[in-house]
Amino acid sequence: MKQRGWRVWWPVNRAVIAGVVFDRADELLAQLRQGPGEAAQQEVMPDETGPTPGRWTLRTIRVSVDWLAGYSLSGVWRVLQRHGLRLRTGQVQMFSPDPAYMEKRAYLLACLSEAAQNPHEIVILFLDEMGYYRWPAVAQNWMPDAPEPVQVAPCVDNNKQWRIIGVLNALTGQVNYLDNYIVGRAYVIKMYELITQLYPDATCIYVVQDNWSIHSHMDVQEALLDWPHIEPLWLPTYAPWLNPIEKLWRWLRQDVLKLHRLAADWPELHRRVNAFLDQFAAGSQELLHYVGLLGNGHLAQALRVT
């Protein structure tokens, strides 16, 4: 408590009831953790038989916390801000049906650690493919009105697709890629050939990849016989969170492909996509941070040399 002249100032998150000081932030947090209840249901459901809402809104918080009853919605928002409470996105529940998930994950972490300890001999790359279209993906943007669809000439009115196969170096952030209208087993083999040219001194190259049937095609496996130092490292089934290059594709989509204005200029769209990927041709610490290979995640921890 601070005294300024004749006024007595209490911290904004304190209240006195019956001579007892308690922390309103703790009370508010406890209420939010319980989730919406009957008061929230009565506030927002059109009928009393409607279900209890699954998440909080300013309205349901106001009716559920007694001491917020007299606040405006903007006042409730300011109280939440004052107590460090913000809108947070829930974590996606991740599940792989692979019965060998834990074993494959442990092997991936062990290979990452091995590469970190022997960077001059061992390389570990994350491989994946993505496709993009002539027409822009829909997204939000700062504009006075919703963006109109891009008008294109009838001769280019087809929404054609282009595909990329790329690899991300887990230690350096170096990205290398090939692109074509079709990326099938021939391009997977071509990527392996490129990898051997990029890392001629490596004694072992782990190539981490998902279980797309093209990756294990007979032609691909036969071609790998010529490069015995390359070892495909198979991820658990349906576990994209273990393949950081997926986040590189997300970055590309967010910054280049969403709401682009190049539907009528297919070559320029190609150029911009390639220019984005070419930024990482010599490696990038910023990219490693973005995809989770630097920081406190499981993959990043495996790469720390103790």
Place of tokens 């010599």: 282
Helix H or strand E segment including 168: strand 161-169
Question: Looking at residue 73, what is its pLDDT?
Answer: 95
Among 74, 82, 169, 67, which residue's Cα sits nearest to residue 127? 169
- Nearest-angstrom CA–CA distance, 304 and 12: 43
Q: Which two tokens stand for residue 91?
A: 């974590």
Beta strand 20-23 pairing with 122-133: unpaired
Task: Show the CA angle centred on residue 211, arms to residues 210 and 217, nearest 5°.
Answer: 120
Could you report how far apart the first and last alpha carbons of the chain are, in Å? 48
Question: Looking at residue 5, what is its pLDDT?
Answer: 39
CB 164 within 8 A of CB 246: no
Beta strand 161-169 pairing with 122-133: antiparallel
Question: Looking at residue 14, what is its pLDDT?
Answer: 47
Question: Looking at residue 40, what is its pLDDT?
Answer: 93
Non-local (6+) Cβ contacts of 209 within 8 A are 126, 127, 128, 215, 232, 233, 234, 235, 243
- Nearest-angstrom CA–CA distance, 86 and 111: 38
253: left (phi over 0), alpha (psi -120 to 50) or beta: alpha
Helices (H), the chain: 24-34, 38-44, 58-64, 73-82, 101-117, 185-198, 218-224, 245-252, 266-278, 285-291, 298-302
> What structural domains and CATH numbers belong to the chain?
9-82 (no CATH), 101-138+154-302 (3.30.420.10)
Task: Show the CA angle centred on residue 86, arms to residues 82 and 90, nearest 5°.
Answer: 155
- Nearest-angstrom CA–CA distance, 95 and 77: 35
- Nearest-angstrom CA–CA distance, 298 and 306: 15
Q: How many residues does the chain have?
A: 306
Burial class (CB in 10 A: 0-12, 13-18, 19+), 56: middle
- pLDDT in single tens digits along all 306 residues of the chain: 444 433 434 444 444 444 443 467 888 999 999 999 999 999 999 988 999 999 999 999 999 999 999 999 999 999 999 988 988 887 777 889 999 999 999 999 999 999 999 999 999 999 999 999 988 887 878 878 777 766 666 655 577 899 999 999 999 999 999 999 999 999 999 999 999 999 999 999 999 999 999 999 999 999 999 999 999 999 999 999 999 999 999 999 999 999 888 888 889 999 999 999 999 999 999 999 999 999 999 999 999 976
Question: Looking at residue 157, what is its pLDDT?
Answer: 54
CB 248 within 8 A of CB 166: yes
